[in-house]
């Protein structure tokens, strides 16, 4: 575009001139991006070397290395822009004199292009580093934190989320993930350490909501935090955390009234509060919103089971299987209920269906061993007990299966 703009202002443009100009512009562009490719490859090779065992690199240094690649990219882009601007100034028409219409090209003598080639990249560099680079660096560090989070390495995830927040302290999404990681870390802790992580998570999630109060996720995550806190707390403190959870789920369901999963979680909070009526109301709201959401059938069926409404629980699980016939959890729950009611044949049927969907399922194999022994089919009972033993790792479960095998042989 720059080349053809210059050509438009010249009196005589030859094919040779256009070819030479195209070669100059192509050489500059490809040369700079080729250099960038080499520099980038060298940076990646350096990163690979320093990540090797025994290098002694810290997590902060590792995160900074990955996030630093964007800086090299911007420097190369600005270098390209500056070089092209200088070339434009150098090949300006008339050596900086006027165009055919008498106007000057970017100032008397063409000095404005040269000045712009120096001043504008510096201004752009300052602007980009203050606005864009910190945002991109923060996002790169945050993505690294997510990788550790997914691997269950919450200490590293927390550290990286905090690093991302140092770059972008008003990003509510980073606070959300920081709070979730702190909550998961609290689940792994005990005593005063657990309380500290819970309080850290509370501060992070409250800050996230403060930055973006209309985001449903923030209120929902506070509801989850306080519900988890209630489960981990002593009995005398449980009620206050359950109430906090209910308050936040109330806000979340008002912000997103058609989110079925939030009504399910709200119902679970009411269950912990001992309010079965309101818990059932929330489950039924969820079912009306999305009758094909399988998790509702699991939770509602379990609600009926825990409130001694076995017939309703079985009907709910069966309705769920009409929606999702390959759902393993529903089949396992239904098989468990049938076994409790003494309907052994139906229980066997559900556990066999689980094995068809997931061969070597430890729970189904163990259940079938017990169920077949209950009906006197020792051959099948022994077979499934032996198969269960082959896939079971838990020492207590293995001991129980070995005792059952000895009994059946």
Provide the pLDDT for residue 99: 43
Higher-confidence residue: 125 or 208? 208
Provide the pLDDT for residue 331: 95
Q: Is residue 224 situated within a structural domain?
A: no
Q: Is residue 120 situated within a structural domain?
A: yes
Q: Is residue 212 situated within a structural domain?
A: no
Q: Is residue 124 situated within a structural domain?
A: yes
* d(C-alpha 162, C-alpha 185), whole Å: 15
Rounded mean pLDDT, 309-338? 95
pLDDT band, very low/low/confident/very high, at 19 (cuts 50, 70, 90): confident
Q: Is residue 353 situated within a structural domain?
A: no
* d(C-alpha 318, C-alpha 331), whole Å: 9
The 3-state secondary structure of 107-136 reads CHHHHHHHHHHHHHHHHHHHHHHHHHHHHH
CA distances from residue 239 to 67, 229, 346 in whole angstroms, order as listed: 45, 10, 40
Instruction: Match 């100034």 to its residue by tokens.
Output: 89
Provide the pLDDT for residue 368: 94
pLDDT band, very low/low/confident/very high, at 366 (cuts 50, 70, 90): very high
Provide the pLDDT for residue 225: 96
Rounded mean pLDDT, 15-41? 73
DSSP code at position 130: I
CB 360 within 8 A of CB 391: yes
The 3-state secondary structure of 331-391 reads HHHHHHHHHHCCCHHHHHHHHHHHHHHCCCCHHHHHHHHHHHHHCCCHHHHHHHHHHHHHH
pLDDT band, very low/low/confident/very high, at 105 (cuts 50, 70, 90): very low
- Domain ends where: 135, 150, 165? 150
Please give the span between the terminal C-alpha atoms of the chain, in angstroms, as a whole number: 87
| Consecutive H or E run containing 166 | helix 154-167
What is the domain range of residue 81?
1-10+20-97+108-150
Q: Is residue 68 situated within a structural domain?
A: yes
Provide the pLDDT for residue 10: 60
Per-residue pLDDT tens digits for 106-133: 555 455 655 665 676 677 667 766 667 7
Query: Which residue pairs, CB below 8 angstroms and at least 24 apart, start in 16-24?
Result: 21/91, 24/87, 24/91
CB 149 within 8 A of CB 176: no
- Domain ends where: 89, 116, 150? 150
* d(C-alpha 317, C-alpha 28), whole Å: 68
With 0-12 / 13-18 / 19 or more C-beta atoms within 10 angstroms meaning exposed / middle / buried, residue 253 is buried
Per-residue pLDDT tens digits for 391-405: 988 899 889 988 888
CB 313 within 8 A of CB 337: yes
pLDDT band, very low/low/confident/very high, at 138 (cuts 50, 70, 90): confident
The mean predicted confidence, pLDDT, of the chain is 84
Provide the pLDDT for residue 356: 94
Rg (CA), the chain: 33
Q: Is residue 146 situated within a structural domain?
A: yes
Q: Is residue 229 situated within a structural domain?
A: no
Per-residue pLDDT tens digits for 88-100: 666 555 544 444 4
Distance of CA 354 to the CA centre of its chain: 30
CB 294 within 8 A of CB 261: no
Highest mean pLDDT among 80-89, 130-139, 301-310, 394-403: 301-310
Provide the pLDDT for residue 11: 59
- Domain ends where: 117, 150, 183? 150
Per-residue pLDDT tens digits for 368-389: 999 999 999 999 999 999 999 9
Number of domains in the chain: 2
Looking only at Cα atoms, what is the longest distance across the chain? 108
């Amino acid at each position: 575009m720059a080349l053809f703009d210059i050509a438009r202002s010249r009196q005589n443009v030859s094919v040779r001139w256009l070819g030479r100009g195209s070669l100059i512009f192509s050489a500059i562009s490809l040369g700079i991006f080729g250099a960038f490719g080499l520099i980038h490859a060298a940076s990646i090779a350096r990163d690979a070397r320093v990540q090797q065992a025994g290098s002694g690199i810290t997590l902060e240094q590792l995160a900074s290395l990955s996030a630093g690649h964007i800086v090299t990219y911007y420097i190369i882009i600005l270098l390209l822009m500056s070089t092209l601007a200088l070339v434009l100034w150098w090949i300006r028409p008339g050596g900086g004199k006027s165009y055919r219409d008498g106007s000057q090209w970017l100032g008397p003598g063409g000095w404005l292009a040269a000045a712009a080639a120096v001043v504008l990249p510096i201004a752009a560099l300052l602007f980009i580093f203050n606005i864009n680079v910190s945002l991109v660096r923060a996002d790169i560090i945050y993505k690294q934190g997510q990788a550790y989070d997914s691997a269950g390495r919450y200490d590293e995830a927390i550290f990286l989320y905090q690093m991302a927040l140092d770059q972008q302290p008003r990003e509510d999404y980073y606070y959300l993930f920081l709070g979730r990681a702190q909550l998961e870390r609290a689940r792994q802790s005990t005593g005063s350490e657990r309380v500290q992580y819970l309080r850290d998570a509370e501060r992070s999630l409250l800050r996230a909501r403060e930055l973006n109060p209309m985001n449903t996720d923030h209120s929902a995550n506070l509801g989850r935090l306080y519900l988890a806190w209630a489960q981990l707390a002593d009995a005398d403190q449980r009620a206050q955390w359950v109430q906090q959870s209910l308050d936040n789920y109330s806000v979340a369901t008002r912000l997103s009234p058609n989110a079925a999963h939030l009504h399910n979680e709200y119902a679970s909070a009411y269950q912990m509060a001992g309010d079965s009526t309101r818990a059932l109301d929330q489950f039924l709201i969820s079912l009306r919103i999305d009758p094909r959401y399988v998790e509702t059938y699991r939770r509602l069926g379990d609600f009926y089971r825990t409130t001694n409404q076995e017939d309703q629980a079985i009907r709910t699980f069966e309705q769920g299987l009409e929606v999702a016939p390959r759902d393993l959890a529903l089949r396992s729950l239904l098989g468990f209920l049938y076994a409790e009611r003494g309907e052994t044949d139906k229980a066997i049927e559900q556990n066999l269906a689980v094995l068809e969907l997931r061969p070597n399922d430890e729970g189904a194999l163990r259940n079938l061993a017990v169920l077949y022994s209950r009906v006197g089919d020792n051959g099948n009972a022994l077979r499934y007990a032996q198969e269960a033993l082959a896939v079971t790792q838990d020492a207590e479960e293995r001991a129980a299966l070995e005792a059952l095998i000895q009994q059946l042989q």
